[in-house]
Amino acid sequence: MYFASKPTLEELVDLRADLTEALHFEDVDLVPLNDAHPLLRFEAVSGRRLFVRDLETVAAFVSLTAREAEDANALVQRGIDYLKKSRTLLKVEACAKRGKRAIHEVHPALFRNFTTEYTESTERIFLRELCGENSKSTC
């Protein structure tokens, strides 16, 4: 629920009780959307509205929420991509330390994700850093 001004805890409790009684439904979740996370707000504004007092305020709030949710989604996706890259790097390092697979079988895809240009010199630097000075194509 979007409020014109921040409600007190007592007001929220009273409003929840009134909604529970009016809707004949015990599991009423009442969340002030004013300060909620953009993704929660987006889910809420995507649902059905029970009451609208001012359509202009709703339109402005929905527009702001959509923009902020898009930014939040992009941030979450960057975090997921970073974790995937980190996990891939850890797998490559573990592989190199165990010596069970040739590094060159694993790392080209990793380098395409981390660098703009993949070259043989990049491969040599990567192998030297993972495997030590005297490495060839495997660890």
The token duo for 115 is 């660098």
- Sorted by sequence, the CB contacts under 8 Å of residue 37 that are 6+ apart come out as 72
- Sorted by sequence, the CB contacts under 8 Å of residue 80 that are 6+ apart come out as none
Calpha distance 26→38 (Å, rounded): 26
Residue type, 39: L
DSSP one-letter string for 82-116: HHHHHHHHHHHHHHHHHT-S-HHHHHHHHHHHH-S
Instruction: Indicate whether this model's pTM tops 0.75.
Output: no
Note the pLDDT tens digit of each residue in 41-100.
Answer: 999 999 888 889 999 999 999 999 999 999 988 888 888 777 777 776 666 666 555 544
Note the pLDDT tens digit of each residue in 93-121.
Answer: 665 555 444 444 555 555 444 444 444 55
Where along the chain do its domains lie? 36-131
